[in-house]
Amino acid sequence: MEYTHLGRTGLKVSRLCLGTMNFGPHTAEADAFRIMDRALELGINFFDTANVYGWKVGEGVTEQILGRWFAQGGGRREKVVLATKVFGHMGDWPNQQRLSALHIRQASEESLRRLQTDHIDLYQMHHVDREAPWEEIWQAMEVLVGQGKVLYVGSSNFAAWDIAQAMAAANTRHFLGLVCEQSKYHLMTRAIELEVIPACRAFGLGLIPWSPLAGGLLGGALQKAKEGRRADEKQQAEIEKCRPQLEAWEKFCQALGEKPADVALAWLLRNPVVTAPIIGPRTMEQLDGALRALEIPLDDSALQKIDGIWPGPGGEAPKAYAW
C-alpha cells in the first residue's frame, strides 16, 4: 500500500479510502466486518462513513456497524483514520440537520456513541450550509477540537468559493480550517477541474473523490449490463445515453490489458491534488481488485486518449473559457 499526507497535514493516509456506504443496505454486517479486516490486511487505513448512511433517519446504521467492528478490539480503532460526516437529516425537529452549532454538537456526540470511540479523526461537513455563518461553524468545530473529540475538519460538496470563504474565516481565528474536500469526481464528471481542484491546491486541501466509477458506469458497464444494479431501467438509460463513449472506453482498457474500474481509479491517482479515491466494495473480490489501480502506469499518450473519450472542461478557470 502507498501512503500520502492528507492535504497540508502531517497525517498519513492510504491512497485508497474504504467507503462504507454499502454497509447495511447492500452488504451484510458479517461481510462488512470481513471487508474491513481485509482492508487493514492490505494496508488501507483510511475509512469513510457518514451519520446518514444506512438511510434510516436518525439511526446511523452504518456508523453502528463500524462501532461494533471497532469494539472487537485487536487494534482496529487505533489503526484506522476514521472519517465521518455531519449535515444530513437526522430527525424531524428543525435543528436535527445542517450546520448550526447546536446540530454539530448533537450530531458529533451521537456519531461518537454509535462508532464506540472517543474521537473522530476527520469530521467532514457533508454539504455546504449557506444559512450558517462561518463564525458559528468554526466556533463549534473549535470546541470539538479543543475537547479532543475531533482532530481534523474537512468539507464535502463545496464550491471553490465556499472553500475560500471557509479558509478566510478560519485564518482570522488562527484555526487550521479545512484539510480536505470530498467531491464528486470521475472521468464522466470533471467540472471541479475548473475551480475546486485549483482551490484545493492553493489552500493545501487534499481531494477525496467520491463515486470514482460513476456508479459503476466506468467499471465495465457494457460487459456487465445484465448484472446487478446495471440491469435496472435507470442504469440502462444511463448506459444508452453514453454508449459510444463507454464502448470506446472499454475498448481502450482492453487494449491496455486492464479492467476499466482499475484504469478509472489509476487516472484519478495520477492527479497530484488527489489524496485517495473512495472505493465502496460490496464484496471481498471488489476490494482486492481495487489495489491494482496503484500499479497501472498511465503515460501522456494514454492520458490523451482518455481525454479524447472523456473530455474535461478544458483545464482550469479562466483559461478553460477565456484568454
Q: Is 53 a catalytic residue?
A: yes
Those residues with Cβ within 8 angstroms of residue 49's Cβ, 6 or more apart along the chain or in another chain: 19, 20, 21, 23, 62, 63, 66, 82, 83, 84, 85
Q: Kindly report the three-state secondary structure assignment for every residue of 84-149.
A: EEECCCCCCCCCCCCCCHHHHHHHHHHHHHHHCCCCEEEEEECCCCCCCCHHHHHHHHHHHHHCCC
Write the single-letter amino acid at 36. M
3-state secondary structure of 207: strand
Question: What is the rounded distance in angstroms from the CA atom of residue 69 to the CA atom of residue 33?
Answer: 6
Grid coordinates representing 313 are: 472542461
Question: What is the rounded distance in angstroms from the CA atom of residue 115 to the CA atom of residue 63?
Answer: 5
Question: What is the rounded distance in angstroms from the CA atom of residue 155 to the CA atom of residue 143?
Answer: 18
Question: What is the rounded distance in angstroms from the CA atom of residue 188 to the CA atom of residue 217?
Answer: 9
Spot the catalytic one: 3, 53, 185, 321: 53
Task: For the chain, count helices (H), then strands (E).
Answer: 12, 10
Element (H, E) at 4: strand 3-5
42: number of Cβ within 10 Å: 16
What's the sign of the alpha-carbon dihedral 155, 159, 164, 166? negative
Q: Which residues does the annotation mark as catalytic?
A: 53
